[in-house]
Each structure stands twice: as C-alpha cells, then as structure tokens.
Structure 1
Amino acid sequence: MGKKLANWYFAIVAALCMVLYGYDASVFNSVQGSDNWFEWMNVDKDKDTQMLGLINTSYTIGAIIAGFFLGGPLADYLGRRWGMWAGCFLTIVATFMQAFTPHHKIGVFIAGRVIIGIGQGLALTAAPVYINEIAPAEIRGRIMTIWQMNYSVGSFIAYWVNYACSSRRERLGQWDWKMVVMFQILVPALVCIALPFIPETARWHIKKNGNIEAARASLARMRDTEQEVEEELLAIRSAVEYEKEAISSTSYAALFRDPSVRKRLILAFILNIGQQLTGQGTLNSYSTSIYRQIWNNPQTINLINALNATFGILFTLNAMWTSDRYGRRWLLIVGAIGMGVCMLIVSLVGLKTPTVYTEESPDGVKSEPVGIGIVFLLFLFTFFYKPSWGATVWMWTAEVFSVNIRAQAVGMSSQMQNVANTIFQQFFPEFLANEGLKCLFFFMSVNFCLAAYVWFFIPETKQVPLEEIDVLFGGVSHSGKGGDILGEKVADPSTTKDAAEVTAVHAATTEKQTV
C-alpha cells in the first residue's frame, strides 16, 4: 500500500467513529415514525413531549461525562486507538439493550442510550485527535472532511433502513423499529476489527513514554521518505520536550495555566455550542415532528429524511476542496450567513402561507407546493451547514491544541455540542408545538451572530503545522523552543513562508478583535 493511500486508510478507519454519532442522532428521529415503538415503550407521541425530549437527550448525559472526564485520560493512557475501540465496543453492547428492551420498560431503552453516549464520548474524543496527529498539514482539512461526512453516512444508513422497514411495517411488526436500532452495530463492529491493525500515533508514543523507535516506525508507515520521518520526529520530540520542561503538566490543570490555552478553550467551547444552535442538530433529531406540520403521510416524511441524509454526504464533500483552499474562517462565515437566510425564509413561508385543516389533519398542514418549497429550503440549509459548521468546527477544534493537552481539550470542547444539545433539545418539542415554524426565527438570529463571532474572534488555521499552532494565539513555537532544550536544530518557523503567513494571520485577527 502506498504511503499516501495508507494515510487515508488509517484516517478513514478512525473517521468511521463519526458514523456512531450520525446514526444515533438519527435513529431516535427515525423510530418516532413508528407507532409500534410508541406502543412498545408506552409513550404518547402527542402528550409526552417532555419524555421524548428526555429520551432524545439522554445519550448526551453519558457523552458529556465521558468527553469531559474519561475520553482524554483514556486516550492518553492506553492510546488513541484503544480509546476508539472502547467507545465502539460500548456502543455495540448498548445497542442490544435498546433493541431488546422489555415491553413497557422504557428505562432500559434510556439506559442503553446513556451507555451509547459514554461510548460516543470516548470514541469522539480519541478519533479526531488521531486523525489530526497522523495527517500531513497540507491535507488535514480534506481528511477531516471525511470525518464530518461520516456523520451524514450514519444518518444515511439510519434513514434508509428506516424507510425500508416503514414500507413493510405490517409484515415486520415490532421489528420495524428494532431493525433500525440493530443496524447501529454494523460500523462499530468493523472499527473494532480494524483498529488493532493500524498504527498508534507518533505523538502518543513520544508523549506517553518517550519511545522514539515506536514513533519512528509509526511515521515510517505514513511518510514517503526517511527525511520526512526524521524531520517530523524531531519536531514532535522538541514540542513534547518543551511542554514537559516549560509547562510540566499534561493534566487538566495545564488547560488553565497558559493564557493562550485558556483563550483557545473558550473559543472552541463557543464554536462547538454554536454548531448545535445553528439548527442542524434540531433538524436531525426532530425533522419528523417538523415535517408533520407539512405532511400527514409518514412514508413521505421518511423518504424526505432519507434523501436529506443522502444529499448531506454530497454537500459535506464541498469542504474537501474549500477548507484548505479558502480556509476555515471563510467557510464558517459563509455557512452561517447562508443558514441564517434559509431559516429566515422558511419562517416567513410558514408564517405567511395558509394552513389547511382536514379530517386526517385536524391540527392543520401546509399545502403540498408550500411543503416542497420548505423542504427545498431546508435542503439548502444543509448545503451550507455540512462543509462549514459541520466539518470545519471539528477541523478547527482538533488542530488548535498542543499535544500535552490535546485529548482533554478536544474531548471537553466537542462535548460542549452535547451540553448545548441537552439543554436546548429538552424544551424544543414544546417550542415547536407552541410556535410551529416560527420557532426557526431563533436559529436565524443565532446564525447571524455566529458569523460575526467568527469574523472578530476566530483565527485562520489552514495548513499550519500542529507544532506551530500556538503561535497563532500569542504563544511560542513548541518545536522551536524544545529544539533548544534538546540541543537540536529545528527549523525556526519565524523564518519560513508558512510561519510568516501564520504571523500575518495572527496580526490581522488581533487587529479585528481590537476594532
């Protein structure tokens, strides 16, 4: 296998962990279209809206705990690979709990979702760290695009399996929703099988026990020449040595000792909270409930969800050629403005068009032409979201932290998505029931605010080497300073073209923040 192809293969194995998130975020939305599920769980879909919110967000409780307190230490102690493996294994166990929940024992179903959340918290902490640590800087954006695309792949599998099962509901009975849940085992099982055969990251080998030979062997499987291996190995050793000498901590305390790290943590927290408040998380979890206000045919709703997931894969691929060409900031700003405009128009259409009341729909639905227009706008919203706040937020979060605190910081930052999700999704069903499509004005406002936030506060990280990322935030070059400690000559980033660009971007960003 060629070295470039090997790079992609190793990264794609890790990126498959994102399928767990996409599938689970979609599976509950899918089963809400099954009356059999409501009967089996003894839940009234019209009256028990708060219970639906609790079930949907229960997995985030486990994810938050794992992401904040378990994922980082596990990935640092056992390695990035085994952090992913543990998360996938827990997902498999919890899937069986959900699929074979005893009749009217909804507590077992909720417990299974909590355990899946723990599994996700472990896997989604270790996997983006692994990808960023093995990917060359010049293609890091493209590889992380695959990460976000796999969220759409998870949704794609969930919705199309649900569509197939819903079309045979009478024949399948209770298995119409059980099969949708059971398919969640497929991808984590493949990942568990593949993980032992891919290399651990060189940065982990150096950080964990200073194993230079293991790190060299790992890099040799990914880099084309021996010179590339030795140069990157020296940069990693130098950065880790500086972090040990100057910072002398790899625990959570290190996150708050360095002002530049604290700044990054706050910026990443807000960015990840914003990702969930764009509206995409809500649409993915409650699109079935939203589309019920337009159509009363469950089969039509299931088909729309499946098509949306399919287009989501294609839309995400736009980040493949834009993230490393135009940069992270450009994608985030354009995406936020585009999503805000879509939400504004959807709200106006819902407010200004008549509602049709029939015997089949006593609560009222929109006419079919209006419904088609709204669906088109929500698909357009996904077009803006997937390559920007879908893919790029993960890119930026996973690449801005130095190796000594990367696992903890990425775990905590990414789980802010679930913190926001837990709070907002708990009351969204009531919000939707009371306000209808007018509730989308909220997402419009959030998206416009997020565009301004990125413009003033988020620096560009396009193609910046991980060991030099601290320069962007007012810190020092860890590899350069570490090279002095080791007595080795590491290329001074201040004399390189890339570093000049880094310094220029940092200066421009600082100027914007002070305006």
Structure 2
Amino acid sequence: MASSFFKSKRTFNWYSALVAAACMVLYGYDASVYNSVQGSEAWLEWFNNPDANMTGLINTAYTVGAIFGGFFLGGPIADFLGRKIGMATGCILVIIATFMQAFSPKGNIGCFLGGRVIIGIGQGIALTSGPIYIGEISPPSIRGKIMTFWQLFYSVGSFICFWVAYGCTEHATKLGEWDWKMVVLFQLLVPILILVLLPTIPGSPRWYIQNGNHIEKARNALLKIRDTEEQVEEELLKIREALEYEKEAISSGYSALWKDKSLRKRLLLALVINAGQQVTGQGTLNTYSTKVYEKVFSSESQISLINALNATFGIIFTVNAIWFIDRFGRKFLLVAGAIGQGLCMIIISAVETETPSPDGKKTEAVGISLVFLFYVFILFYKPSWGATVWIWTSEVFSMNVRGQAVGMASQTQNVANLIVQQFFPTFLENCGFYAFYMFAGVNFLLGLFVYFFVPETKQVSLEEIDAIFGGANHVSQGEDLLFQQKNAGQVSVERSDKPVSTTYENVEVSS
C-alpha cells in the first residue's frame, strides 16, 4: 500500500491532499494555454486570423463548459459517486478535450471551440471534488496550510504552460504549427499523473459515512492519515453526530441550501467572494496579459518571457499563504489583499496613462515599471484572494450540501469571468489602461464587504463550523439525537460517560 512508503501518517495525509490539489494544475495550465497560443502567428494562421469577437468567444466557450460542469455535474458526481471519481472524471474529459484542440483540422475553429467546452466541463467537475476532498481529510490545525497548495498548484500550472510557450516561441520558425500544438499537448501530463496516483490515496471518510454509513471504510481511511486510534474514533463520532443532525433537523438533500437560514447566508457570502476573486483583475490578467503587454512591448519572445516569470513569481508568492493562513486567519488576508491589490491597480493605471508614448510605444523604463507593478499585484493576490477564497469556500458548508455548494460557489468565478472576459478586450482597446481604475474600485469594495460580513473560520472543525454562521453546532445537536434514538430503542447500546473515543466503538445503528 502507498501509505507504507511514508514515514508518518501526517506525511501520507499531505501526499493524499497534494494528489487532489494537482487538479488545480489543470486549471492553471488551461487558463494560461489560450493566453499563450493567441500570441502565436502559427495559431492565428491555422484558424484564419480570428477577430476580437471570436477571441472572446473561445474564452467564453471554456467558461460556459466550466459553469455547466460545476453547477450541474460537479456536486452530484462528488456526492453520489465519490470525491475520487469526480477528480478522475474531470481528468478524463481534460485528456479528450486536449486532443480535440491540438488536432483540430486547419481552419476548423469549431473543433477547437468544442474542445474548450469539454475541457471546461472536466475542470468544473474536478475543481468541485478536489477542494472538498482536501478539506475532508485534513485536520483543522493544518487545513489552511494544506489548502494553500490548491492555489499554489494553479500557479504551477501557469508556470509549466508559460515556460513551455516561451520555449516554443524561441523556436517558432523550426516548429511551425507545432509551436502552439506543443503548448496544448503538454496539458496531458498532469491529468495522466493524477489518474495514476488516485488509486494510491484513501477515500473521504466523511463521504463513506454519508453514503451508506460505511463506518469501517471510514475508519480504515482515517487510520491511514491520523496518528492514533483515539483521534480516529473521536473524529468518526463527530462526523456521525453531525450527519445525524443534518439528516433529522435540516435535510439530507440539497434543499437545505434554501431551507436553512445559516446555509443560505454562507452560500450568498461564498458566491460574492468567489465572483470577487475574478473581478480583482487577476483573472483578466491571466487570460489577456499578452494583449495587455502588447500595448507596451513589441517583441513576442519578450512578452512570453514576462508571462513565464509572472507564473514563476506566482508560485513563490503563494507559498506565503502557508505561513500566514492559520496564523492571521482568512479574514485578515482577504482584507489586506484587497487593499494592496486596489492600490497596485491605481498606480499601474497612473504610470501607463500619465507617461509619454514615443512612436506609439512606452519607453523601456515605463515597461519595466509596469511589469514590476503587476508582479507586486500578484504578491498581494496569491496568498489572499487567490488561495484564501478556495480555502474558505471548501470549509464553510455542512456535509449534506458541501458538494453542490462548493460546485456552485466555485463556478461563480467562471460566471464573473465570463462577463469580464467578454467585454475586457474591447474595453482595453477603447480605454487602454484606464480600464484598471475599475479593478481598483472593485478591490476596495471587496475589502469592505469581507470586513463587515465574512466571519473568521480558522482552525474550526468542519462539523462545528455552522455555529459561526448563526446555525447550530451539528456535533452537539447530533449527539443529543443519537442519545434520543438510543432511548427509543433505535440504537443498540447504552450511552456512557466514557471519553468519546471509546464510546463510539459501540454506537451503531441497528439494522
């Protein structure tokens, strides 16, 4: 078994979480693929030089697929088939779509568009299951640190893509049409790796109990990633009690998202901050940075290098969240990040719009200053609105609705991105860098929203997090329900005053 290769169970816990986090590499790579290939002369020629409207439509095609996959497929697959099946399904669809894009017949932009839709569906499914799995296997004390790698791996995906694109750009003459096809095909690497590694990691113990009350399977999964049997039994009991309360007092189905006031509040907050993540300016930069830099730099190779360095610094800056997330908390990072991002956008706009442009291009000094400022923006964004939004979203929902709620909330990112990406190319063309003042205002508004409305969730167990949002403590309420069932003859043994870890061995529902 894979767990036997690791020196400690905590290490195997990290390994299992990182396999799931690799799903975010798919997103990071694909979000950068189109940014890279649209700067390729060979790609433009292959598809008969698509205009600005078609450029926006190709991005929209991906986003529509991701929204459909996340809203309608991600939650049901994760909840009814399992978190690991959800990740595997997403990877398989990404592989199929990659071949469709790379081998689209010359001039057949429809095939390329179809691949973008399918890859969006695949990622919508994988990006629902991945963060849920990580949250459900991670102990509260390090859940924030582990989830930080979810965003870190987004940067890893961008890093791989942009450096592959830079290498292909340097040899574009020799490669011909393969200068963009190679960039697309490299996307096969990570989904294949994930499919190979998924069988080596345990299933979600919470999913095992939620679907069929498979307590032994849940126990075996936890025994691989928790240090002591006492921890395993205590966690099993908390899961069991929380699920019992959710089933009896709220609803075991997705309708709880509308029936329960506390869940409605969480869903609304999650929808806002996930949409906000994409209107900070980062989503647009990641997709259209090539178009932005073309207003300052004339060299295709130079722009590819800047994008590659941007992705490299993205990895370094995201690591900061590992040290900050469980020390300062989610709320502090979101507020501080929004303020820093807003200030960067104001300065970026001012530097570009208030400096001369001899021969229609900015001077080298201005260009270097803008690149530096964009990197500072990434410094603020990655550990805050990059990593923290995913962490907060994956941990605030109760088990009965977690799959559907995370799928809906995370795909709100794509809804917001769909709107911004559709109008941004025209906005940039007509208004230039004045467009970035809009992002500055949005960032400041987001900071205020988080300060006044978003509660702190650091180091709270998943089963007890409802109380923070005005709901009941599902563990304590579920404990009372189990006790009542015992008195009614529905539970096979008496409740005792022994520690939780030893009590659970005998608390089983009679058949």
Task: Return the TM-score normalized by structure 1.
Answer: 0.93
- Kept in 1, the 8 Å contact 2:166–2:305? The answer is yes
Match of 1:15 among 21, 26, 45: 21
Name the residue aligned to 2:437.
Answer: 441
In structure 1, distance between residues paired with 2:367 and 2:61:
31
Cross-structure match for 2:251: 248
Is 1:236 the equivalent of 2:236? no
- Contact conserved, 1:278 with 1:446, CA < 8 A, in 2? yes
Query: Which residue of structure 2 aligns with residue 508 of structure 1?
Result: none
Structure 1 regions of 5+ residues with no counterpart?
358-363, 493-515
**Shift in Å at residue 156 of structure 1?**
0.2
Q: Percent identity?
A: 61
* Alignment partner of 2:380 out of 372, 380, 384: 384
Question: Which residue matches 2:504?
Answer: none
Aligned AA for 2:67?
I
Question: Which residue is 2:317 aligned to?
Answer: 315
One of 22, 37, 49 as aligned partner of 2:43: 37
User: What secondary structure is seen at the aligned counterpart in 1 of 2:456?
Assistant: coil
Q: Give unpaired runs (5+ residues) of structure 2.
A: 1-5, 484-494, 500-511
Deviations 1:410-447 (A, max 9, x none): 00000000000011101100000001111100100000
Question: What is the alpha-carbon distance in structure 2 between the residues aligned to residue 248 and residue 463 of structure 1?
Answer: 26
The root-mean-square deviation of aligned C-alpha atoms, in Å, is 1.3
- Residue 215 of structure 2 corresponds to 212
CA distance in 2 between partners of 1:399 and 1:312 (Å): 24
Residue among 105, 110, 114 paired with 2:113: 110
Which residue in 1 is equivalent to 2:401? 405
What residue in structure 2 maps to residue 361 of structure 1? none
Q: Is the 8 A contact 1:41 1:104 kept in 2?
A: yes
Mapped to 1, the partners of 2:10 and 2:309 lie a distance apart of 33
Paired residues in the alignment total: 483
> What is the rounded CA distance, in whole Å, between the counterparts of 1:459 and 1:366 in structure 2?
44
Q: Which residue of 2 aligns with 1:346?
A: 348
Residue 201 of structure 2: aligned partner: 198
Aligned with 1:64 (options 43, 54, 67): 67
CA contact (8 A) 2:251 2:400 kept: no
The answer to whether the 8 A contact 1:234-1:490 is kept is no
Matches within 5 A, 1:63-462: 63-250=66-253, 252-357=254-359, 364-462=360-458
Secondary structure of the corresponding residue to residue 348 of structure 1: helix
Measure, in 2, the Cα distance between the counterparts of 1:423 and 1:226.
Answer: 50
The answer to whether the Cα contact below 8 Å between 1:235 and 1:490 also exists between their aligned partners in 2 is no
CA distance in 1, matches of 2:138, 2:367: 43
Query: 1:102-132: per-residue Cα shift (whole Å, max 9, x none)?
Result: 0100000010010000000110000000000
| Alpha-carbon separation, structure 1, partners of 2:257 and 2:361 | 51
What is the SS of the residue equivalent to 2:278? helix
Alignment partner, residue 491 of structure 2:
none
Offset at residue 490 of structure 1 (A): 10
Letter in 1 for 2:406: V
Helix, strand or coil: the match of 2:225? Answer: coil
> Displacement, 1:57?
2.3
* Amino acid aligned to 2:388: T
Q: Hey, what's the Cα distance between the residues in 1 that align with 2:37 and 2:71?
A: 29
The Cα of 1:253 is off from its aligned counterpart by 1.4
Q: Kindly indicate whether the alpha-carbon contact (under 8 Å) linking 2:28 and 2:153 is maintained by their aligned counterparts in 1.
A: yes
- Answer whether contact 2:145 2:323 (CA < 8 A) is retained: yes
Shift of 1:249: 2.5
Counterpart position of 1:52: 55
Distance apart, 1:388 and its partner CA: 0.1
Summarize deviations over 1:309-344 as a string: whole Å, max 9, x none: 000000000000100000001100110000000000
Query: Does the CA-based 8 Å contact 1:264-1:473 persist in structure 2?
Result: yes
What's the CA shift for 1:491?
A: 11
Asked if structure 2 preserves the Cα contact closer than 8 Å seen for 1:483 and 1:490, the reply is no
Q: What do residues 11-64 of structure 1 show as CA deviations (whole Å, max 9, x unaligned)?
A: 0000000001100100000001201000101124xxx11110111221111110
Q: Give, as a single letter, the amino acid of the residue that structure 1 aligns with 2:154.
A: Y
Give the secondary-structure state (helix, strand or coil) at the position aligned to 2:211.
helix
Letter in 1 for 2:268: I
User: d(CA) in 1 for partners of 2:151 and 2:123?
Assistant: 14
| TM-score after normalising by structure 2 | 0.93
1:159 is paired with a residue of what secondary structure? helix
Following the alignment from structure 1 to structure 2, what is the Cα–Cα distance between the partners of residues 141 and 348? 36
Equivalent of 1:27 in 18, 33, 40: 33
Task: Answer yes or no: is the 8 Å Cα contact 1:483–1:489 preserved in 2.
Answer: no
Instruction: For 1:261 and 1:98, locate their aligned partners in 2 and report how far apart those are by CA, in whole Å.
Output: 40
Q: Deviations over 1:342-371 (max 9, x none)?
A: 0000101111100121xxxxxx21100000
